[in-house]
Amino acid sequence: MQNQRDEQQQQPIFSQPPKVITTKDTLYLKDQLSWQLIAMKKCYHFARECSDSDISHAIDQAGQMHQRHFELLLKHLQNDNTSEMKTVQKKLQQ
């Protein structure tokens, strides 16, 4: 009985992400960008402070990973949502 309710309450699984980035999505992505930037800066700082070259290299690699994540998130925010939002608004008005 519990499993049936859990299955009914689950949201549908999308095969592709929606083309529209909502305000809530944008705010979440902005937070993620801030966290990635902070992590990237900290890795840069501590890699330069570390005297062990192996550890410094590992920290630097972590910083590069955060930089890649930052750039990927930024790419998602560069979509033009104007036409997609108009489509969504038309569907909501029907």
Write out the DSSP string of 13-71.
PPSS--S---HHHHHHHHHHHHHHHHHHHHHHHHHHH-S-HHHHHHHHHHHHHHHHHHH
pLDDT (0 to 100) of residue 29:
85
Q: Is 18 a member of any domain? A: no
- Total structural domains within the chain: 1
Residue 81: pLDDT band (50, 70, 90) is low
pLDDT at 53 over 70: yes
Q: Is 55 a member of any domain? A: yes
pLDDT (0 to 100) of residue 4:
56
**Distance from C-alpha of 79 to C-alpha of 74, rounded to nearest angstrom:** 10
Q: Is 85 a member of any domain? A: no
Q: Is 93 a member of any domain? A: no
Q: Which domain holds residue 61?
A: 24-75
* Whole-model pTM over 0.75: no
The amino acid sitting at 24 is K
